[in-house]
Amino acid sequence: MIRFLDEYRNPELARQLVERIRDRPIEGLRFMEFCGGHTAAIMKHGLRQLLYPKVELLSGPGCPVCVTAISDLDKAIALAREPEIIVATFGDMLKVPGSYSSLQKTRAEGGDVRVVYSPLDALEIAQRNPEKSVVFIGIGFETTAPAIAASLLDAKNQGVTNFFLLSLHKLCPPVIKVLLDSGEIKIDGIICPGHVSVIIGSHPYEFIPRDYGIACVIAGFEPLDILLAIDMLVGQNERAQPEVEIAYRRGVTSDGNTQAKRIMEQVFKVDEADWRGIGIVAESGLRLREEYQAFNAESTFPVELPPALEPKGCLCGEILRGVMTPLDCKLFGKSCTPEYPVGPCMVSSEGTCAAYFLYGDNHGR
């Protein structure tokens, strides 16, 4: 039984797994890692280069900051300009360019924008500042939604009336279906997101092998986790028996975290959501239920916005869909860098462009 982090990074075990994958008779497989955490780990440890061309790894829309629609970001920026509002956000959102500004620039201009590490931090800010309205920017996939739901339950139970949520949450399985239906990419397997699957389990992915004949493995985030998942995906393709397997047993069960799902479903209802580079996806977002509408920032503080503008020349949308890589973008590493990002994929620690820039990639496409 593996108990310590170093064991998940054992070079000898990694070498054995890489050789096992390379020695398999099947060639030219294309797998998409959906999670931005996987993208960063794959790039950091050089797994693309180690496995290419035996296996080609594509990055999908697994970065919640990156897939936030620019019009939704514009809403957050507009709220931050209101003098009676404190905007609380995760740090990755600060530098993401909106149509005309960013939360970081708005803060420099006098807007009260505060970085928090959890929604409970934002709730505490609201309790300490009863004369202000505190709006928490709720981004993330199924991973963060239960904690945000729990903060709203706490606010309701404690009678906090100046705490609000701008819900920009996204749900993963529906957008995977949209990507597969689009026909833009041909893949033989999906490395399913680990943290998301801790919450939702493995059952929501069963439509992928059933309806599309594509292999699925849920992976952890260490090198051996990812190599094991890739080996399992190769095995499914060799057997021509696609299914959903779990390579992250220490964190994921078939049913997921039932208590977290219950809390999430108590506060939120499923609705459509706008994904950058993809558009409106049915049943892929979360909205507050009627009994929690008092916490709804969007209805409480309506803002009028000019039309959203995508940054000229930015390929974040295509990169998020897996049809291009950062190496295809003329801005990458030139006018678009982590210090001066043009698009969100260069901002977030889970962004594909940021991972390519930080760790480098010479082929692996």
Q: Which residue has the tokens 């020349």?
A: 313
**Residue pair 160/123 in contact by the 8 Å Cβ criterion:** yes
CB atoms within 10 A of CB 108: 11
250-281: pLDDT as tens digits = 999 999 999 999 999 999 999 999 999 999 99
E strands of 130-238, at which residues? 133-138, 163-167, 189-192, 215-218
- Residue with the bigger pLDDT between 349 and 4: it is 349
317-349: pLDDT as tens digits = 999 999 999 999 999 999 999 999 999 999 999
* The two structure tokens encoding residue 99: 């149509």
Q: What is the average pLDDT across 172-183? A: 97
- Residue with the bigger pLDDT between 189 and 9: it is 189
Q: What is the average pLDDT across 79-104? A: 96
- The domain spans of the chain are 30-301+350-357
Q: What is the average pLDDT across 84-109? A: 96
d(CA 344, CA 159): 36
- Reported for 338-341, long-range contacts at CB under 8 A and 24+ positions apart, including other chains, are 341/95, 341/96, 341/97
* CATH number among 3.40.50.11740, 2.40.30.20, 3.30.70.890, 1.20.120.430, domain 30-301+350-357: 3.40.50.11740
- Residue with the bigger pLDDT between 48 and 7: it is 48
Q: Which pLDDT band, with edges at 50, 70 and 90, does 9 fall under?
A: confident
